[in-house]
Protein backbone atom coordinates (compact mmCIF):
# COMPACT_ATOMS: atom_id res chain seq x y z
CA UNK A 1 0.00 0.00 0.00
CA UNK A 2 2.79 2.27 1.07
CA UNK A 3 4.84 1.33 -2.00
CA UNK A 4 1.87 1.91 -4.22
CA UNK A 5 1.34 5.38 -2.79
CA UNK A 6 5.01 6.19 -3.32
CA UNK A 7 4.76 4.92 -6.89
CA UNK A 8 1.68 7.03 -7.50
CA UNK A 9 3.24 10.18 -6.06
CA UNK A 10 6.37 9.62 -8.22
CA UNK A 11 4.09 9.21 -11.23
CA UNK A 12 2.24 12.41 -10.24
CA UNK A 13 5.54 14.22 -9.91
CA UNK A 14 6.73 13.24 -13.38
CA UNK A 15 3.34 13.98 -14.83
CA UNK A 16 3.49 17.41 -13.24
CA UNK A 17 6.98 17.98 -14.68
CA UNK A 18 5.88 16.82 -18.14
CA UNK A 19 2.83 19.07 -18.11
CA UNK A 20 4.87 21.91 -16.75
CA UNK A 21 7.43 21.56 -19.50
CA UNK A 22 4.69 21.24 -22.06
CA UNK A 23 2.93 24.38 -20.84
CA UNK A 24 6.20 26.31 -20.69
CA UNK A 25 6.97 25.19 -24.21
CA UNK A 26 3.55 26.32 -25.30
CA UNK A 27 3.95 29.68 -23.60
CA UNK A 28 7.27 30.37 -25.28
CA UNK A 29 7.22 28.31 -28.42
CA UNK A 30 3.64 28.74 -29.51
CA UNK A 31 3.82 32.51 -30.01
CA UNK A 32 7.05 32.10 -31.94
CA UNK A 33 5.44 29.38 -34.00
CA UNK A 34 2.38 31.51 -34.66
CA UNK A 35 4.58 34.50 -35.47
CA UNK A 36 6.69 32.42 -37.81
CA UNK A 37 3.67 30.97 -39.58
CA UNK A 38 2.00 34.39 -39.80
CA UNK A 39 5.05 35.78 -41.55
CA UNK A 40 4.97 32.96 -44.06
CA UNK A 41 1.88 34.62 -45.49
CA UNK A 42 2.24 37.73 -47.57
CA UNK A 43 -0.26 40.33 -48.68
CA UNK A 44 -1.69 40.62 -52.17
CA UNK A 45 -0.35 43.55 -54.17
CA UNK A 46 -2.37 46.72 -53.76
CA UNK A 47 -3.41 48.67 -56.81
CA UNK A 48 -0.85 51.36 -55.96
CA UNK A 49 1.95 48.80 -55.81
CA UNK A 50 0.79 47.28 -59.09
CA UNK A 51 0.79 50.72 -60.70
CA UNK A 52 4.34 51.42 -59.63
CA UNK A 53 5.58 47.96 -60.48
CA UNK A 54 4.16 48.29 -63.99
CA UNK A 55 6.38 51.25 -64.70
CA UNK A 56 9.78 50.64 -66.16
CA UNK A 57 12.74 53.00 -66.09
CA UNK A 58 13.08 55.15 -69.14
CA UNK A 59 16.00 54.34 -71.34
CA UNK A 60 18.45 57.11 -72.14
CA UNK A 61 20.99 56.37 -74.84
CA UNK A 62 24.59 56.76 -73.70
CA UNK A 63 25.23 59.27 -76.47
CA UNK A 64 22.45 61.50 -75.09
CA UNK A 65 23.31 61.18 -71.42
CA UNK A 66 25.12 64.20 -70.00
CA UNK A 67 25.34 62.44 -66.63
CA UNK A 68 27.40 59.69 -68.24
CA UNK A 69 29.72 62.23 -69.80
CA UNK A 70 30.18 63.82 -66.39
CA UNK A 71 30.95 60.38 -64.94
CA UNK A 72 33.75 60.02 -67.47
CA UNK A 73 34.83 63.65 -67.67
CA UNK A 74 38.29 62.74 -66.34
CA UNK A 75 39.00 60.33 -69.20
CA UNK A 76 42.41 60.43 -70.78
CA UNK A 77 42.93 62.84 -73.63
CA UNK A 78 41.77 61.13 -76.79
CA UNK A 79 39.41 58.79 -74.98
CA UNK A 80 35.68 59.32 -75.28
CA UNK A 81 34.41 60.38 -71.82
CA UNK A 82 31.09 58.67 -72.53
CA UNK A 83 32.89 55.38 -73.07
CA UNK A 84 35.01 55.92 -69.96
CA UNK A 85 31.90 56.74 -67.94
CA UNK A 86 30.15 53.63 -69.24
CA UNK A 87 33.09 51.46 -68.15
CA UNK A 88 32.83 52.87 -64.65
CA UNK A 89 29.09 52.32 -64.50
CA UNK A 90 29.37 48.75 -65.79
CA UNK A 91 32.03 47.95 -63.25
CA UNK A 92 30.00 49.19 -60.29
CA UNK A 93 26.80 47.62 -61.56
CA UNK A 94 28.54 44.25 -62.00
CA UNK A 95 29.83 44.38 -58.44
CA UNK A 96 26.41 45.32 -57.11
CA UNK A 97 24.99 42.16 -58.67
CA UNK A 98 27.31 39.89 -56.70
CA UNK A 99 25.99 38.44 -53.49
CA UNK A 100 27.31 39.16 -50.96
CA UNK A 101 28.54 42.32 -52.57
CA UNK A 102 32.33 42.59 -52.35
CA UNK A 103 34.19 45.84 -51.72
CA UNK A 104 35.74 47.51 -54.77
CA UNK A 105 38.84 45.65 -55.93
CA UNK A 106 42.09 47.24 -57.03
CA UNK A 107 40.98 47.37 -60.66
CA UNK A 108 37.83 49.28 -59.75
CA UNK A 109 39.74 51.65 -57.51
CA UNK A 110 42.17 52.30 -60.38
CA UNK A 111 39.29 52.85 -62.79
CA UNK A 112 38.02 55.66 -60.59
CA UNK A 113 41.31 57.53 -60.69
CA UNK A 114 40.89 60.25 -63.31
CA UNK A 115 43.64 60.27 -65.97
CA UNK A 116 42.78 63.96 -66.36
CA UNK A 117 42.25 64.95 -62.74
CA UNK A 118 40.21 67.81 -61.43
CA UNK A 119 42.21 70.81 -60.25
CA UNK A 120 40.44 72.88 -57.63
CA UNK A 121 41.16 76.03 -55.65
CA UNK A 122 44.24 75.78 -53.46
CA UNK A 123 44.35 78.11 -50.52
CA UNK A 124 48.15 78.06 -50.49
CA UNK A 125 48.42 79.04 -54.13
CA UNK A 126 45.30 81.15 -54.56
CA UNK A 127 44.65 82.54 -51.11
CA UNK A 128 41.11 81.15 -51.26
CA UNK A 129 40.06 77.56 -50.95
CA UNK A 130 36.71 77.55 -52.70
CA UNK A 131 34.83 78.84 -55.68
CA UNK A 132 32.45 81.77 -55.37
CA UNK A 133 30.05 81.45 -52.42
CA UNK A 134 27.20 82.74 -54.53
CA UNK A 135 24.72 83.20 -51.71
CA UNK A 136 27.01 85.49 -49.80
CA UNK A 137 28.80 87.61 -52.37
CA UNK A 138 28.44 89.11 -55.81
CA UNK A 139 30.11 86.47 -57.97
CA UNK A 140 31.00 88.88 -60.75
CA UNK A 141 32.89 91.12 -58.33
CA UNK A 142 34.34 88.08 -56.63
CA UNK A 143 35.50 86.67 -59.96
CA UNK A 144 37.21 89.93 -60.80
CA UNK A 145 39.04 89.83 -57.48
CA UNK A 146 40.07 86.23 -58.03
CA UNK A 147 40.93 86.43 -61.69
CA UNK A 148 44.33 84.83 -61.17
CA UNK A 149 42.88 81.76 -59.52
CA UNK A 150 40.10 81.36 -62.05
CA UNK A 151 42.49 81.69 -64.97
CA UNK A 152 44.73 79.09 -63.38
CA UNK A 153 41.78 76.75 -62.95
CA UNK A 154 40.61 77.43 -66.48
CA UNK A 155 44.00 76.39 -67.85
CA UNK A 156 44.39 73.39 -65.56
CA UNK A 157 40.90 72.08 -66.31
CA UNK A 158 40.69 73.05 -69.96
CA UNK A 159 39.91 69.57 -71.26
CA UNK A 160 37.33 68.93 -68.57
CA UNK A 161 35.70 72.29 -69.27
CA UNK A 162 35.57 71.59 -72.98
CA UNK A 163 33.91 68.27 -72.24
CA UNK A 164 31.45 69.95 -69.91
CA UNK A 165 30.48 72.34 -72.67
CA UNK A 166 29.78 69.29 -74.81
CA UNK A 167 27.69 67.80 -72.00
CA UNK A 168 25.57 70.95 -71.92
CA UNK A 169 24.53 70.24 -75.49
CA UNK A 170 23.36 66.70 -74.75
CA UNK A 171 19.60 66.28 -74.54
CA UNK A 172 19.22 64.10 -71.49
CA UNK A 173 20.47 63.20 -68.04
CA UNK A 174 20.12 59.94 -66.18
CA UNK A 175 22.08 58.77 -63.16
CA UNK A 176 23.32 55.22 -63.65
CA UNK A 177 25.31 54.26 -60.57
CA UNK A 178 23.40 51.72 -58.46
CA UNK A 179 22.34 52.70 -54.95
CA UNK A 180 25.32 51.67 -52.84
CA UNK A 181 26.55 53.16 -49.62
CA UNK A 182 30.15 52.83 -50.77
CA UNK A 183 29.31 53.61 -54.38
CA UNK A 184 30.82 56.47 -56.36
CA UNK A 185 29.22 59.88 -56.15
CA UNK A 186 28.98 62.19 -59.11
CA UNK A 187 31.10 65.34 -58.74
CA UNK A 188 29.48 68.39 -60.40
CA UNK A 189 32.31 70.79 -59.50
CA UNK A 190 33.21 71.31 -63.16
CA UNK A 191 29.75 72.80 -63.65
CA UNK A 192 30.34 75.20 -60.78
CA UNK A 193 33.75 76.16 -62.13
CA UNK A 194 32.15 76.79 -65.52
CA UNK A 195 29.67 79.22 -63.93
CA UNK A 196 32.50 80.97 -62.09
CA UNK A 197 34.33 81.42 -65.37
CA UNK A 198 31.21 82.91 -66.94
CA UNK A 199 31.07 85.35 -64.03
CA UNK A 200 34.71 86.16 -64.75
CA UNK A 201 33.93 86.81 -68.41
CA UNK A 202 31.09 89.12 -67.41
CA UNK A 203 33.37 90.96 -65.01
CA UNK A 204 35.86 91.52 -67.79
CA UNK A 205 33.32 93.18 -70.06
CA UNK A 206 32.11 95.66 -67.48
CA UNK A 207 34.97 98.18 -67.37
CA UNK A 208 34.67 98.75 -71.08
CA UNK A 209 30.99 99.47 -71.09
CA UNK A 210 30.06 102.97 -72.17
CA UNK A 211 27.16 104.54 -70.25
CA UNK A 212 24.71 103.96 -73.07
CA UNK A 213 25.29 100.23 -72.90
CA UNK A 214 25.92 99.82 -76.62
CA UNK A 215 28.85 97.54 -75.96
CA UNK A 216 26.46 94.91 -74.80
CA UNK A 217 26.10 93.89 -78.42
CA UNK A 218 29.74 92.89 -78.61
CA UNK A 219 30.97 90.21 -76.24
CA UNK A 220 28.46 90.03 -73.42
CA UNK A 221 25.63 88.29 -75.20
CA UNK A 222 27.86 85.32 -75.86
CA UNK A 223 28.61 84.93 -72.19
CA UNK A 224 25.01 85.57 -71.24
CA UNK A 225 23.86 83.02 -73.77
CA UNK A 226 26.21 80.49 -72.21
CA UNK A 227 24.76 81.33 -68.83
CA UNK A 228 21.26 80.94 -70.20
CA UNK A 229 22.28 77.65 -71.80
CA UNK A 230 23.27 76.28 -68.40
CA UNK A 231 19.94 77.32 -66.94
CA UNK A 232 18.08 75.66 -69.78
CA UNK A 233 20.18 72.53 -69.41
CA UNK A 234 19.65 72.18 -65.65
CA UNK A 235 15.99 73.03 -65.94
CA UNK A 236 15.64 70.20 -68.41
CA UNK A 237 17.30 67.93 -65.86
CA UNK A 238 15.07 69.22 -63.10
CA UNK A 239 11.75 68.81 -64.82
CA UNK A 240 12.40 65.30 -66.06
CA UNK A 241 12.32 62.34 -63.68
CA UNK A 242 15.63 62.13 -61.86
CA UNK A 243 17.35 60.80 -58.80
CA UNK A 244 17.17 63.15 -55.86
CA UNK A 245 20.82 64.18 -55.98
CA UNK A 246 20.49 65.24 -59.61
CA UNK A 247 17.36 67.19 -58.77
CA UNK A 248 19.12 69.03 -55.98
CA UNK A 249 22.29 69.66 -57.99
CA UNK A 250 20.19 71.04 -60.83
CA UNK A 251 18.37 73.35 -58.45
CA UNK A 252 21.62 74.68 -57.04
CA UNK A 253 23.18 75.22 -60.47
CA UNK A 254 20.11 77.12 -61.67
CA UNK A 255 20.18 79.22 -58.55
CA UNK A 256 23.88 80.05 -59.00
CA UNK A 257 23.36 81.01 -62.65
CA UNK A 258 20.40 83.18 -61.77
CA UNK A 259 22.33 84.88 -58.99
CA UNK A 260 25.13 85.68 -61.45
CA UNK A 261 22.52 87.08 -63.83
CA UNK A 262 21.16 89.10 -60.91
CA UNK A 263 24.66 90.41 -60.14
CA UNK A 264 24.99 91.37 -63.77
CA UNK A 265 21.62 93.14 -63.66
CA UNK A 266 22.76 95.15 -60.67
CA UNK A 267 25.77 96.43 -62.58
CA UNK A 268 24.32 96.78 -66.02
CA UNK A 269 20.77 97.69 -65.41
CA UNK A 270 20.87 100.91 -67.36
CA UNK A 271 21.36 98.88 -70.49
CA UNK A 272 18.89 96.13 -69.81
CA UNK A 273 16.37 97.73 -72.10
CA UNK A 274 18.86 97.41 -74.90
CA UNK A 275 19.60 93.78 -74.40
CA UNK A 276 18.03 91.60 -76.97
CA UNK A 277 15.39 90.13 -74.77
CA UNK A 278 15.10 86.89 -76.60
CA UNK A 279 18.67 86.17 -75.65
CA UNK A 280 17.94 86.52 -71.98
CA UNK A 281 14.43 85.24 -71.81
CA UNK A 282 15.65 81.82 -70.75
CA UNK A 283 16.81 83.17 -67.42
CA UNK A 284 13.46 84.43 -66.47
CA UNK A 285 11.09 82.00 -68.02
CA UNK A 286 8.98 80.10 -65.62
CA UNK A 287 10.11 76.45 -65.52
CA UNK A 288 8.25 74.20 -67.90
CA UNK A 289 5.75 72.02 -66.13
CA UNK A 290 4.88 72.51 -62.49
CA UNK A 291 7.04 74.89 -60.47
CA UNK A 292 8.02 71.94 -58.38
CA UNK A 293 10.17 70.07 -60.85
CA UNK A 294 10.43 67.00 -58.67
CA UNK A 295 6.93 65.91 -59.57
CA UNK A 296 6.80 62.17 -59.23
CA UNK A 297 10.54 61.86 -58.78
CA UNK A 298 10.06 60.24 -55.43
CA UNK A 299 8.71 57.14 -57.02
CA UNK A 300 10.80 54.86 -59.05
CA UNK A 301 11.38 51.33 -59.97
CA UNK A 302 14.39 50.89 -57.70
CA UNK A 303 12.27 51.44 -54.63
CA UNK A 304 9.88 48.87 -55.93
CA UNK A 305 12.56 46.51 -57.02
CA UNK A 306 12.50 43.65 -54.61
CA UNK A 307 16.15 42.69 -55.17
CA UNK A 308 17.19 46.13 -54.07
CA UNK A 309 15.38 45.82 -50.78
CA UNK A 310 16.51 42.30 -50.14
CA UNK A 311 20.10 42.48 -51.29
CA UNK A 312 20.87 45.74 -49.61
CA UNK A 313 19.17 44.90 -46.42
CA UNK A 314 18.97 47.96 -44.29
CA UNK A 315 19.61 50.29 -47.17
CA UNK A 316 16.00 51.09 -47.75
CA UNK A 317 16.67 54.76 -47.20
CA UNK A 318 19.43 54.66 -49.74
CA UNK A 319 17.23 52.93 -52.24
CA UNK A 320 14.37 55.26 -51.59
CA UNK A 321 16.04 58.58 -51.07
CA UNK A 322 19.18 58.72 -53.02
CA UNK A 323 19.23 56.85 -56.23
CA UNK A 324 15.92 56.71 -57.91
CA UNK A 325 15.23 55.49 -61.34
CA UNK A 326 12.83 57.59 -63.33
CA UNK A 327 9.28 56.72 -64.16
CA UNK A 328 8.57 56.06 -67.76
CA UNK A 329 5.25 57.84 -67.90
CA UNK A 330 6.96 61.15 -67.16
CA UNK A 331 9.28 60.90 -70.12
Partner 1 sequence: MNAAYAPQATLNLHARHYRIIEDLLEADPRRIEAAHQEVSPVFEETFVAFGDPGRLVGQLAHNFAGRILAQIAVPAFDWGRRLHDQEALRRMIVLKREAKEHQIAPEGMDAFLSQQPEDLRNPFTGEPFGWSAETYEIHFVPSAANYWKRETLIVVY
Among 157, 303, 323, 325, indicate the residue that binds partner 1 (CB under 8 A).
303
The span from the first CA to the last CA of the chain, in angstroms, equals 93
CA-CA distances (angstroms) from residue 12 to 3, 5, 25, 223?
14, 10, 20, 99
Stretch that binds partner 1, among 31-39, 154-162, 187-195, 207-215 (CB under 8 A): 31-39
Among 54, 94, 269, 288, binds partner 1 (CB under 8 A): 269
Q: Of these, 152, 221, 287, 311, which contacts partner 1 (CB under 8 A)?
A: 287
User: 244 phi and psi, to 5 degrees?
Assistant: -65, -40
In angstroms, rounded to a whole number, what is the distance separating the alpha carbons of residues 121 and 26? 69
Q: How far is the CB of 269 from partner 1 (least distance, A)?
A: 4
Q: Could you tell me which of 163, 232, 223 has the C-alpha nearest to residue 196?
A: 223
Span 51-110, contacts to partner 1 by CB under 8 A:
51-53
Give yes or no for residue 266 binding partner 1 (CB under 8 A). yes
Q: Where does this chain touch partner 1 (CB under 8 A) — which range of 57-65, 145-153, 198-206, 315-323?
A: 315-323
CA distance 151 to 220: 18
Strand pairing partners for 65? 172
In a 13 Å sphere around the CA of 218, the CA atoms on its Cβ side amount to 11
CB 174 within 8 A of CB 86: no
Q: How many residues bind partner 1 (CB under 8 A)?
A: 58
Q: Which of 244, 267, 279, 328 binds partner 1 (CB under 8 A)?
A: 244
Tell me the C-alpha to C-alpha distance, in Å, between residue 278 and each of 125, 189, 225, 243, 268.
Answer: 41, 29, 10, 32, 17
Q: Can you tell me the distance from the alpha carbon of 103 to that of 110, in angstroms, rounded to the nearest whole number? A: 13
Q: How far is the CB of 259 from partner 1 (least distance, A)?
A: 8
- The interface region with partner 1, picked from 15-23, 90-98, 99-107, 303-311 by CB under 8 A, is 303-311
Q: How far is the CB of 291 from partner 1 (least distance, A)?
A: 5
Residue numbers at the binding site for partner 1 (CB under 8 A): 35-36, 38-46, 48-49, 51-53, 135, 238, 244, 247-248, 251, 254-255, 258-259, 261-262, 265-266, 269, 272-273, 283-284, 286-287, 290-299, 303-304, 306, 309-310, 314, 316-317, 319-321
Amino acid sequence: MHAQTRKQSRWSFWRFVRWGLFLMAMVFVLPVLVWFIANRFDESPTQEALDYAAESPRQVADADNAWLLLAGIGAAAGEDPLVFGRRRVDRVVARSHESPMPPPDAAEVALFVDPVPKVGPDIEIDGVGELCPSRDVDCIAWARENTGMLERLRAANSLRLTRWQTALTLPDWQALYPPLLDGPVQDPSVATLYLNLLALELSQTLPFMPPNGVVIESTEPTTLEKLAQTVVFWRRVQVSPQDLISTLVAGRQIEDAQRIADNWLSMRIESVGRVKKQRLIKFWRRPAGPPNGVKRCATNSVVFSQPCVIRHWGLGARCGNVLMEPRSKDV
